[in-house]
């Protein structure tokens, strides 16, 4: 049980507690922010739609970061939209931007245009954490996932993130290995983090990715500066484990 509890504590400290439902209301975000301060400790961040950034920032201490999504969930090759979303997040006091890579465009060979969109958002986020969502489950092929990861690393993103959680295929350990290898071997790799998102509902699910990060990036990477989990349901299992419940088996979401 101590092993599961240790994993749960780490997952809590690295959790981006997320609400990205189309019908989210201010009351939903108020409830999310209350949950972010659990009796076992605070999460790393909350992740919301851009329109809720100001509300979340006002409700939370500075120690809990506020993230919001840009060009989400489609990942369209639309720099104007990506920059409008980003400006809304930054102007409202957001700390972190989770940008969806134009992954369909990249897969179709529009490499230069994909680089340009990410570079533009990077320039628009000085002093903010920029996470790039690769939609790795949809790219599927290791060479495409690797190319997407290297694009983000070359353009200066702070985290590589697996998925939006809005497609049929989300995070997988196989994709995580490719992404982590790209981080490990890149010239900026010592400062770049990894975020697993999509289908991660149990502490046992998080443990898979913790082990992968430890193996690829070392023990020092196991903290919120370089490891995050994007989830809405994971907190319930974390609280159950830390409250003394037997850990649930890993799910099938990944």
Residue 195 is a catalytic residue? yes
pLDDT at 252: 37
Asked whether the bond before 75 is cis by omega within 30 degrees of 0, the reply is no
pLDDT at 247: 72
Q: How far apart are CA 49 and CA 220, in angstroms?
A: 31
Identify the active-site residue in 85, 95, 161, 205.
161
Q: How far apart are CA 11 and CA 13, in angstroms?
A: 6
Identify the active-site residue in 71, 85, 98, 158.
98
**149 near 141, Cβ under 8 Å?**
no
Q: What is the pLDDT of residues 194-238, one digit of tens each?
A: 999 999 999 999 999 999 999 999 999 999 999 999 999 999 999
Q: What is the pLDDT of residues 116-172, one digit of tens each?
A: 999 999 999 999 999 999 999 999 999 999 999 999 999 999 999 999 999 999 999
> Which long-range contacts (C-beta less than 8 Å, at least 24 apart) are formed by 81-84?
82/117, 82/120, 82/121, 83/120, 83/121, 83/124
Residue 166 is a catalytic residue? no
Residue 211 is a catalytic residue? no
Confidence of residue 91 (pLDDT cuts 50, 70, 90): very high
């Amino acid at each position: 049980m101590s092993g599961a509890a240790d994993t749960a504590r780490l997952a809590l400290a690295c959790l981006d507690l997320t609400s990205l439902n189309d019908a989210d209301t201010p009351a939903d975000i108020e409830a999310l922010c209350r949950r972010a301060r659990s009796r076992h400790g605070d999460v790393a961040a909350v992740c919301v739609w851009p329109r809720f950034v100001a509300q979340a920032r006002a409700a939370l201490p500075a120690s809990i970061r506020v993230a919001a999504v840009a060009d989400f969930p489609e990942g369209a090759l639309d720099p104007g939209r990506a920059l409008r979303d980003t400006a809304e997040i930054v102007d409202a006091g957001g700390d972190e931007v989770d940008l969806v890579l134009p992954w369909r465009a990249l897969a179709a060979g529009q490499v230069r245009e994909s680089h340009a969109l990410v570079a533009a958002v990077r320039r628009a986020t000085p002093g903010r954490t920029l996470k790039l969502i690769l939609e790795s489950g949809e790219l599927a092929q290791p060479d495409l996932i690797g190319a997407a990861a290297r694009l983000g690393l070359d353009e200066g993103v702070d985290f590589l993130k697996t998925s939006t959680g809005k497609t049929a295929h989300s995070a997988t350990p196989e994709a995580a290995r490719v992404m982590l290898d790209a981080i490990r071997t890149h010239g900026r790799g010592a400062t770049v983090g990894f975020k697993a998102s999509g289908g991660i509902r149990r502490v046992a699910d998080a443990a898979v990715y913790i082990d992968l990060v430890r193996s690829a990036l070392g023990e020092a990477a196991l903290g919120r500066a370089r490891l995050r989990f994007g989830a809405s349901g994971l907190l319930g299992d974390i609280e159950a484990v830390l409250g003394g419940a037997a850990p649930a088996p890993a799910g099938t979401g990944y």
